[in-house]
């Protein structure tokens, strides 16, 4: 990596009683008032592992005459979470030189400079990726923590390397798109957190296995397989085919975001259907059966993607169940209409899954400027929730 980028990406660090401090800043609504959601805590050991991977690489380069790392090298790279500062959540991570002195008494004097350079190279890697510059290859020692670091970031969130400046003078950061681009430039797939709601459509529970498989139909990736301990089937899922489930997973996706498989199951639970769901579901089934020329010789067949988006939207926001009326659109999409807090609101899902929110005031002259999203992402639900919480004034 170019020395100019390394110098530009070098982060300020502080030395307090033999330890280095590095600070991350989580930017996004979830992190306001120095809150760090539990699902982001996996980032911290992954951050340490990335710094450690660079530190090992640096050691090998500077000690070409030694085939192996010194005993205790990995243990000597111990990080602690010292605090989370105010504002957007800012975890302060410290490397304790005292631990290194204990684990590596003969070589600990070299480590402060190695850790400093390792952090600078990590920041440089992310700065380059944000500017569409990628390494030709990365070993599995880098890929494993990269697949964990930032995996739970949502579309409107990012991790900033506080105090760092990239080659162009900007704060160095990692968001979901930069992360995806970086990983998929050096391998075919990447891992990310997937939280959603779907329908339980099948259960496979072999008698000779301690695990069972739930087949869940999702809007995003069609039907996926989720493994759970076999004893949960009788206790929770038996007799609940076609019921709604809510889940949190780590999944593997291709560079084109095609689903490859479930990597880890963090949670999956049955949830109650929203009020009015059965009637709404039956209506969506009718709409989904419409084929080309359904509208007096015109009208395109209704897209399964649009139907899935409408179902997922109502499952995610149960209050919509008794409110919405569903209609097919001539273009092959789905239109949901409902009245709420003095507004006549519409949610339109295009055949490709693009979602739009618009509406007019029922007894007034105001109108809602249309909001368009490429999918049911965080920005879409923020815009929808803003309308669902509006009052009549």
pLDDT tens per residue, range 98-112: 777 777 766 667 888
Provide the pLDDT for residue 164: 84
The verdict on 26 and 115 lying in the same domain is yes
Instruction: Give the number of domains in the chain.
Output: 3
Residue that finishes a domain, picked among 237, 271, 305: 271
Place of tokens 């660079």: 54
The verdict on 157 and 70 lying in the same domain is yes
Asked if 91 contacts 25 with a C-beta cutoff of 8 angstroms, the reply is no
The verdict on 317 and 196 lying in the same domain is no
Q: Counting Cβ atoms within 10 Å, is residue 51 exposed (0-12), middle (13-18) or buried (19+)? A: buried
> Which domain does 312 fall in, by range?
277-388
Residue 70 belongs to some domain of the structure: yes
Residue that finishes a domain, picked among 271, 305, 334: 271
85 phi and psi, to 5 degrees? -80, 165
Does the structure show a pLDDT above 80 at 254? yes
Residue 288 belongs to some domain of the structure: yes
Residue 222 belongs to some domain of the structure: yes
Considering the chain, what percentage of its residues have pLDDT values greater than 90? 57
- Which domain CATH number covers 212? 2.40.50.140
Does the structure show a pLDDT above 70 at 16? no
The verdict on 176 and 322 lying in the same domain is no
57 falls in which pLDDT band (50, 70, 90)? very high
The verdict on 175 and 289 lying in the same domain is no
The verdict on 160 and 205 lying in the same domain is no
The verdict on 346 and 220 lying in the same domain is no
Residue 393 belongs to some domain of the structure: no
Provide the pLDDT for residue 106: 66
Distances (CA, A) of 355 to 136, 194, 286, 300, 311: 37, 19, 21, 18, 13
Distance CA 24, CA 164 (A): 10
Place of tokens 């939280």: 195
Residue that finishes a domain, picked among 209, 244, 271: 271
pTM here?
0.76
The rounded Cα 295 to chain-centroid distance in angstroms is 40
The verdict on 288 and 158 lying in the same domain is no
Name the helix (H) or strand (E) containing 331.
none
Name the helix (H) or strand (E) containing 172.
none
The verdict on 24 and 117 lying in the same domain is yes
The verdict on 163 and 88 lying in the same domain is yes
Distance CA 223, CA 239 (A): 19
- If one counts every other C-beta atom within 10 angstroms of the C-beta of residue 381, the result is 17
């Amino acid at each position: 990596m170019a020395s100019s980028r390394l110098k530009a990406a070098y982060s300020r660090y502080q030395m307090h009683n033999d330890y280095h401090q590095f600070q991350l800043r989580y930017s996004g609504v979830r992190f306001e008032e120095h809150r760090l959601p539990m699902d982001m805590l996996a980032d911290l050991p992954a951050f340490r592992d990335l710094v450690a991977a660079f530190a090992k690489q640096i050691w090998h380069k500077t000690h070409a005459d030694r085939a192996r790392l010194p005993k205790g090298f990995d243990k000597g790279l111990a990080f602690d979470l010292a605090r989370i500062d105010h504002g957007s959540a800012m975890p302060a991570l410290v490397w304790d030189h005292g631990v290194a002195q204990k684990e590596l008494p003969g070589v600990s004097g070299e480590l402060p400079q190695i850790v400093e350079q390792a952090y600078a190279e990590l920041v440089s890697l992310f700065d380059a990726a944000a500017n569409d510059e990628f390494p030709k290859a990365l070993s599995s020692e880098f890929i494993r923590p990269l697949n964990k670091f930032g995996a739970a970031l949502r579309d409107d969130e990012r991790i900033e390397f506080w105090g760092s400046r990239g080659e162009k003078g900007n704060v160095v950061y990692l968001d979901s798109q930069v992360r995806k681009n970086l990983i998929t430039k050096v391998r075919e797939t990447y891992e990310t957190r997937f939280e959603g709601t779907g329908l339980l459509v099948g259960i496979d529970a072999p008698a000779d296995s301690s695990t069972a498989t739930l087949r869940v139909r999702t809007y995003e990736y069609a039907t996926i397989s989720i493994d759970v301990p076999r004893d949960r089937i009788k206790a929770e899922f038996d007799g609940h085919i076609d019921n709604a489930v809510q889940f949190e997973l780590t999944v593997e996706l291709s560079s084109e975001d095609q689903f490859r498989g479930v990597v880890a199951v963090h949670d999956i639970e049955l949830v109650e259907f929203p009020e009015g769901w059965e009637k709404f579901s039956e209506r969506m089934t009718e709409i989904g059966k419409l084929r080309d020329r359904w509208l007096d010789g015109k009208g395109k067949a209704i897209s399964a993607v649009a139907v899935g988006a409408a179902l997922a939207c109502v499952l995610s926001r149960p209050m919509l169940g008794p409110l919405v009326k569903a209609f097919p659109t001539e273009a092959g999409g789905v239109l949901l209409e409902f009245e709420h807090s003095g507004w006549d609101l519409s949610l339109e899902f295009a055949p490709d899954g693009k979602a739009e929110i618009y509406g007019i005031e029922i007894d007034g002259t105001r109108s809602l400027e249309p909001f368009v999203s490429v999918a049911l992402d965080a920005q879409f639900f923020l815009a929808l929730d803003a309308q669902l919480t509006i009052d009549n004034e």
